[in-house]
Amino acid sequence: DAKTTQPNSMESNEEEPVHLPCNHSTISGTDYIHWYRQLPSQGPEYVIHGLTSNVNNRMASLAIAEDRKSSTLILHRATLRDAAVYYCILRDPNAGGTSYGKLTFGQGTILTVHP
C-alpha cells in the first residue's frame, strides 16, 4: 500500500472549521483516498472517500489536490464529539487477495477539540 503522512496532532476550538491534511506522494492512479476516524474506546468509523474530485457528505468534505499527492479532510464546524484519531488511507479497488481487507492505518492525527 502507498504510504500516507499525517501530522501527529491538531487542535481546534468548538464551532470552528478543521482542516486535517494528508500527504500521499506515492499514490497510484487507481488508489482511492479514504478517511476513517476512531473515537476513544470505539472501532474505526468510515468518514469519506474520493478519487479525484472533491467530495462532500453529512460528516465532512474531502478536498483532493489536483496532482492527488495530498488531500485535506474538512470538518466544517468541529464539535466535542469530533475529538478522535483521524486516519487517511489509500485503497486500490482492483487489489485482490488480502489487499482489499488490508487497511494500513498508520498513526493518524489526534484531533483535540476545545470547548
Partner 1 sequence: DVKVTQSSRYLVKRTGEKVFLECVQDMDHENMFWYRQDPGLGLRLIYFSYDVKMKEKGDIPEGYSVSREKKERFSLILESASTNQTSMYLCASSPYPEGLSPLHFGNGTRLTVT
Query: Residues interacting with partner 1, by CB under 8 A?
Result: 32, 34, 36, 41-46, 49, 91-95, 97-107
Residue with smaller CB distance to partner 1, 13 or 30: 30
CB nearer partner 1, residue 14 or residue 44: 44
Report the residue number, 18 or 35, with the smaller CB distance to partner 1: 35
Separation of alpha carbons 94 and 87, rounded Å: 21
Shortest distance (Å) from residue 55 CB to partner 1: 13
Which residues neighbour 75 within 8 Å (Cβ) at sequence distance 6 or greater? 12, 17, 18, 20, 59, 60, 82
Amino acid at 87: Y
Min dist. Cβ of residue 37 to partner 1 (A): 11
For partner 1, the closer CB: 63 or 95: 95
The grid coordinates of residue 30 equal 487507481
Please report how close the Cβ of residue 76 comes to partner 1 at its closest, in angstroms. 20
Q: Is residue 60 a contact partner of residue 75, using CB atoms and an 8 Å limit?
A: yes
Give the separation between CA 81 and CA 68, rounded to whole angstroms: 29
